[in-house]
Amino acid sequence: MTTIALYIATSLDGYIARKNGSVDWLSTVETGETDYGYADFYQSVDALVMGRKTYEASVALGSGEWVYPGKPCYVFTRQYQTSKQSDVFFTSGLPDRFVRDMAAEGLQRVWLVGGAELVASFLKLQLIDEFILSIVPIFLGEGISLFTPPSSEVSLTVTDVQQYPSGLVQLKYKQIDRARSILS
């Protein structure tokens, strides 16, 4: 079975980016002293999945260099795309089919990078097993919400809470009742 892990930073008021897609506010917690568990998390995943807008923002962040090297990355899009990266694959499939395909390929843990639309589609089908939310101590007031309606009710249990000197708090949850019957 493939585990889907959402690992994402959000403002205290629930935004993952400004209205224009900028994540410049994340620099308020970049201290150089800690990576908030990112390196260990990245090593623990077999592949990544993201939406097209997140993919385009990732390419821009890397100034042409791919910021997620060494792991296959699946990008959900309705537009035809090509990539210069040999480990980036585009799909217009459905999330439940994607999870079945990843399980068939033997992938154990997949990082759901974002964005909001893709998170909503995975959440609606209760396909997210782990939620790792890094809460940045800032109110943006508006922007792109992490969780958008409509979504299903999902019960979670807390597995860890980390507080950092920068003010960032990382919350880790696992889904209690996984409705994976759609994958059978």
Mean pLDDT of 127-156: 92
148 secondary structure, DSSP code: -
Confidence category of residue 157, pLDDT binned at 50, 70, 90 = very high
Instruction: Report yes or no on whether pTM surpasses 0.85.
Output: yes
| Arithmetic mean of pLDDT, 11-16 | 97
At residue 10 the predicted structure's pLDDT band, cuts being 50, 70 and 90, is very high
Give the mean pLDDT of 157-172.
97
Q: What percent of the chain has pLDDT over 90?
A: 66
Token pair in block for residue 32: 């150089």
Q: What is the pLDDT of residue 60?
A: 66
Rounded CA separation 70/47 (Å): 9
State the pLDDT confidence band at 96, using cuts at 50, 70 and 90. very high
pLDDT in the model for residue 181: 41
Pairing of strands 3-11, 144-145: unpaired
Q: Please say if the pLDDT value at position 152 is more than 80.
A: no
pLDDT of 128: 94
**pLDDT attached to residue 144:** 94
Q: What is the CATH number of domain 3-183?
A: 3.40.430.10
Q: How much is the average pLDDT of 93-102?
A: 93
What is the rounded average pLDDT of the residues 53-81?
A: 82
End-to-end CA distance of the chain: 11
CB-CB contact of 73 with 50 (8 Å):
yes
Q: Look at 59 and 39; give whichever has higher pLDDT.
A: 39
66 secondary structure, DSSP code = -
Query: Do 156 and 112 contact (CB within 8 A), yes or no?
Result: no
How many degrees, rounded to 5, is the angle at CA 94 between CA 89 and CA 96? 110
DSSP letter for 106, please: T
Burial class (CB in 10 A: 0-12, 13-18, 19+), 84: exposed
Residue in this structure with the two tokens 């623990």, named with its chain if needed: 44
pLDDT of res. 51: 92
**155-171 in b/e burial notation, b at 16+ Cβ within 10 A?**
eeeeeeeeeeeeebebb
Q: What angle do CA 136, 122, 133 make, to 5 degrees?
A: 15
Phi, psi of 121 (to 5 degrees): -70, -35
pLDDT at 82: 76
**What confidence score (pLDDT) does residue 178 get?**
61
